Amino acid sequence: MIAASVSRAASGCTTERVDVALVGAGFAGLYLLYRLRKDGFTTVALEEADDVGGTWYWNRYPGARCDIQTIDYCYTFDPELESAWKWSEKYATQPEILRYLGFVADRYDLRRDIRFCTKVKRATWDQASERWLLTTDNDAAVSCRYYIMATGCLSSPKPPEIDGVKDFEGEVYFTGRWPHEEVKFAGKRVAVIGTGSSGIQAIPLIAEQAAQLTVLQRTPNFALPAHNGPAPADRVALLEGDRAGYREQARWSGAGVPLQLQTVFSWQLSAAERLERFENAWAAGDLFCMLRQLWADQGVDVDGNALVAELLRDKICATVKDPEIAASLIPYDHPFGAKRPCLDTNYYATFNRPNVTLVNLRQEPIKSIMASGIKTDKRTFDVDVIVFATGFDAMTGAIMAVHPIKGRGGKSLSDVWANGPQTYLGLTVTGFPNLFMITGPGSPSVLSNMVVSIEQHVDWAVNLLIAMREAGFTTFEATKTAQDGWIRHMADCSTLTLHRLANTWYTGANVPGKAQGVMPYTGGVGPYRGICDEVVSRGMLGFRLAGPNVAEQCNDGEIVRLQPDVRLVLKKLEEMKLAPIESLGAQGARDFVAELNADRPAGRPVGDVADGTLPGTDGPLPYRLYRPATPGPHPIVVYFHGGGWVLGDQHSDDPYCRDMCRRSGMIFVSIGYRHAPEYRFPTAAEDGYAATRWIAEHAAELGGRPGSVVVAGWSAGGNIAAVTCQLARDRGGPHIAGQLLVCPVTDCTFDRPSYNDNATGYFLTRSLMFWFWDLYCSPADRTDPRVSPLRGKLAGLPPAFVVTCEFDPLRDEGIAYADALAAAGVPVEQLKARGHIHTSFTMVDVVITGVSGRVQMAEALRRLAGLPPERKQVDASVRPARTASPRKIAAAAD
Ligand SMILES: Cc1cc2nc3c(=O)[nH]c(=O)nc-3n(C[C@H](O)[C@H](O)[C@H](O)COP(=O)(O)OP(=O)(O)OC[C@H]3O[C@@H](n4cnc5c(N)ncnc54)[C@H](O)[C@@H]3O)c2cc1C
């Protein structure tokens, strides 16, 4: 064990030597101190305030409360602590939460190791001693082996960006730095600038007291009624019925609150059913019910989101009597939830009061603050008090306020982060050894119940320090590979949600000059916890560990290379411990696939879906036709499903066909070609060709555009599409305008690297492909271009769009085919989908990160068919809809 020694040097300024120095005495700092001390590390906590509480110490404005139910927003590390404290309300007030944190500090005797009224100013890593030196605004300096910033995500208030604040002769308050003594508003003219969470909580209470309240709003926000009161009986019963289980469920949930995710999609519900769900969530007074429990697509899809947003707008209109004021209060510039929504008590109704005026700063920006009040470009408001509810320099503000933080080689963190924060796991930064940030940028933090995230970070960090101590390591540092990989993974995750579509403090947009980008981890609390655990189980992947008497350890690499949702799908499949498909026999495998398909999200509505048959070479072949809702005639795509020539039918890629039909605005005809082993090579290829020929000849009867067709296919269907193009060229038609080949089989050899790299673990396995080939085609036939189109003549084929996925055994033969087509003079575009697997694009509404690939495929189909690029759809959630005023707001926001 590292010796727990504390020494003090008496030389003008005192330098305290400890194992660990942590900064901050909020939820994070207190739990850290508890854990570190319990685990035998000498520790000091440094805190700018004169007491514990962090957020709840500083934010004392009227109406300040938590907006996650208090039974969830509290520590869970000690069951005895849980039973020792009873919350009085569903959403506790700031004084109650502050009392709770004081209670925790006393219960574990934490205050004795906290240096209050001590602000950390600078931090410098000394390579020779392998220690951090922290300097403070009083004489106390600290030398520590490990430096942990528990400085808070919302602890650095944003200074006002308005000229003249100093000239104002009245009282000025900041919600994030509220005085300890009561502020009296009675009889006063008050202005509140800002309508984020703090403003929305404070405004109704200030309005009750003030003679006149002027609310200056730049960006309207969605707010839901908190319906505060006692904690809901059903939630309490769940907690008390199985406290440990309830807490564990929260730890592995999406946002740190144990709620089931909704699995039904908006298009599977009638308008009345949607309204009923919405009204229930409205009555529940719970952000997460509204954010996650209406329908499965509300948080990931602009159309699903627009339905919620519109119902919320109805509520605002129904509450606010003056339609012009209501119009100004309605948000149109962001999807619901992309900006943090607020919980309120009487917020919208406050604007019906005669003493309240709303000033829409989109229509009349503030010019300046003068001695007597506030001047916009239209009016002047004389006021006695100005309350700034203008928010925080979130997530990075408090970290960067310690300046400089100098790491290895004297590099400053502010330089390293000049273009935005870069971290590994949101916990550590390459080049800054032995530094942890609790709930730092790159971790779920503000998109979660923060106490759950804090406990996870603290436990992970302290457990690492213990493990290092046991192994004799004294330094840790994230590698560049690991950090770069994490940044890529963050970017992938950000496509899972709609946060990227809003300018918010989540993205740094509220602070002028701040680098923009989604800062919190959007992949969810549970998946994040799983990743952190995996870093440990893979030998501290991405960390370099060193110590004086031990060999350096570094398992370098990226912790997540798959797309985040693909990773979750594979994990689920792994947990199901399924027998290999090829062990089930052909019929067993077909039954299994049918069972899997029955459980998947239903595809989206299209204009029309019709089943029919067409004449094949030896009898009728079934087909399913998907027609867009737009007026025709539309170009036709002849589509061949996947399934290794053995599995599937004309319905089996239903969600994919629907999605592509909607996105491309083209008719999809999915062909029920015959399968092996009943019908072996070349039946599938010949059926594909025959079907294409018939459809091209009967395009007009099918409501399609005559002249030519496009062919498309996935997997073995991609093989049939490619072969059909070769046969059509050689047999005098039909005219095929283009081919979309998604993860196609193009060749019979198994020796390309992707077959070995991705042999198992990514759903389509090498041995399953062996089985498919064996059932379809005898070895003697395999080099025939009707099954190995890569071996055929390629010149003169229609233009192609070839999609391959990184973690697919078929990847390299798809790329080889695209390259060979290009070499033969065929116009080819390639989409090489990073982090995806063979089934990524057909798992519609499951693999959300597949959307952008399908968008590209649809655009390609339109190009191949000679259609103009589709007009960019106006995002329904930002489409102005009601009155003239929102239109102006949306225009201003643009
Ligand atoms: C009004 C409001 C309501 C909120 N409601 C919720 C909610 O309902 N649910 C939820 O999950 N989250 C909520 N949050 C987020 C909240 O910040 C976290 O839940 C949690 O309190 C963060 O705890 P922390 O210890 O990480 O940081 P903080 O509580 O912010 O504590 C950080 C501490 O570090 C100190 N510090 C910072 N820099 C220095 C320095 N250089 N030197 C010395 N000391 C320093 C600060 O003074 C502060 O005391 C809310 C935030 C606000 C502002």
Share of the chain above pLDDT 90, in %: 93
Assess whether the C-beta atom of 66 lies below 6 angstroms from ligand 1: yes
Per DSSP, the chain holds a count of helices (H) and strands (E) of 27, 30
Both tokens of 733, joined, read 């038609």
The beta strands (E) that lie in 137-185 are given as 141-149, 171-174
Is residue 54 in contact with ligand 1, taking CB distance under 6 Å?
yes
Give mean pLDDT, residues 503-514: 91
Tens of pLDDT, residue by residue over 293-321, are: 999 999 999 999 999 999 999 999 999 99
Q: Is the CB of 346 under 6 A from ligand 1?
A: no
**Residue 13 pLDDT:** 65
Distance of CA 82 to the CA centre of its chain: 31
Measured in angstroms, how far is the CA atom of residue 58 from the centroid of ligand 1?
A: 9
CA distances (Å), 647 to each of 581, 589, 776, 809, in order?
11, 7, 11, 18
Instruction: Give the per-residue pLDDT at 12.
Output: 56
| Residues 469-487: tens digit of each pLDDT | 999 999 999 999 999 999 9
* Residue-wise pLDDT tens digits, 147-166: 999 999 999 999 888 888 99
pLDDT band at 139 (very low <50, low <70, confident <90, very high): confident
Q: Which of 612-621, 648-657, 876-885 has the lowest mean pLDDT?
A: 876-885
Ligand 1 centre and the CA of 152: distance in Å? Answer: 4
DSSP per position, 413-437: HHHHTTTS---BTTTB-TT-TTEEE
CA-atom Rg of the chain in angstroms: 31
Q: How far apart are CA 843 and CA 568, in angstroms?
A: 13
Q: Which two tokens stand for residue 287?
A: 């952000």
pLDDT attached to residue 598: 92
**Atom of ligand 1 lying closest to residue 398 CA:** 38
pLDDT at position 260: 83
Residue 618 in this model has a pLDDT that exceeds 70: yes
Q: What are the b/e assignments for 144-175, b being 16+ CB within 10 Å?
A: bbbbbbbbbbbbbbbebebeeeeebebbebbb
Checking if the pLDDT of 875 tops 70, the result is: no
- Ligand 1 neighbour 473 (Cβ under 6 A): no
Q: Which tens digits make up the pLDDT trace of 395-421?
A: 999 999 999 999 999 999 999 999 999
Q: Is 152 in the pocket of ligand 1 (CB under 6 A)?
A: yes
Ligand 1, atom nearest to 59 Cα: 1
Would you say the CB of residue 198 lies under 6 angstroms from ligand 1? yes
Q: Is residue 67 within 6 Å of ligand 1 at its C-beta?
A: yes
Is ligand 1 within 6 A of the CB of residue 155?
yes
pTM to 2 decimals? 0.94
Question: What's the maximum distance between 2 C-alpha atoms anywhere in the chain?
Answer: 98
Tell me which residue of 736, 853, 859 sits closest to 798, measured CA to CA.
736
Query: Read out DSSP for 557-617?
Result: S-S--S-HHHHHHHHHHHHHTPPPGGGSHHHHHHHHHHHHHHTSPPPPP-SEEEEEEEE-S
pLDDT in the model for residue 892? 25
Q: Can you tell me which atom of ligand 1 is nearest the CA of 392? A: 53
| 844 alpha carbon, distance to own chain's centre | 17
Name which residue sits closest to atom 35 of ligand 1, judged by CA: 24
Mutate to test the pocket of ligand 1, among 151, 177, 253 (most ligand atoms within 8 A of CB): 151
Residue written as token pair 């529940």 = 284
Ligand 1 atom having least distance to the Cα of 401: 41
Task: Kindly state the average pLDDT of the residues 462-468.
Answer: 98
pLDDT, tens digit, for every residue of 561-570? 999 999 999 9
Give the 3-state secondary structure of residue 302.
helix
Q: Of all protein residues, whose CA lies closest to atom 38 belonging to ligand 1?
A: 151
Can you give the pLDDT at residue 5?
A: 43
Please write down the long-range contacts of 759-765, taking CB distance under 8 Å and 24 or more positions apart.
759/809, 761/570, 762/570, 762/807, 762/808, 762/809, 762/837, 762/838, 763/570, 763/573, 763/837, 763/838, 763/839, 764/715, 764/808, 764/809, 764/810, 764/837, 764/838, 764/839, 765/580, 765/809
Q: Chain-wide mean pLDDT for the chain?
A: 94
Q: Give the distance (Å) from ligand 1 centre to CA of residue 54.
A: 5
- Over residues 243-264, the pLDDT tens digits come to 999 999 999 999 999 988 888 9
Which two tokens mark 263?
Answer: 């699995």
pLDDT digit string, tens, across residues 776-811: 999 999 999 999 999 999 999 999 999 999 999 999
Task: Tokens for 744, please give them.
Answer: 């196609």
Mutate to test the pocket of ligand 1, among 60, 154, 456, 525 (most ligand atoms within 8 A of CB): 154
Which ligand 1 atom is at minimum distance from the Cα of 201?
1
- Both structure tokens of 274: 């949607």
Please enumerate, as own/partner, the contacts of 159-164 that have beta carbons within 8 Å and a separation of 24 or more. Answer: 160/193, 160/369, 160/388, 160/390, 161/512, 162/193, 162/366, 162/368, 162/369, 163/368, 163/369, 164/368, 164/369, 164/370
pLDDT band at 882 (very low <50, low <70, confident <90, very high): very low
What number of other Cβ atoms are within 10 A of residue 820's Cβ? 18
Is the C-beta atom of 405 inside 6 A of ligand 1? no
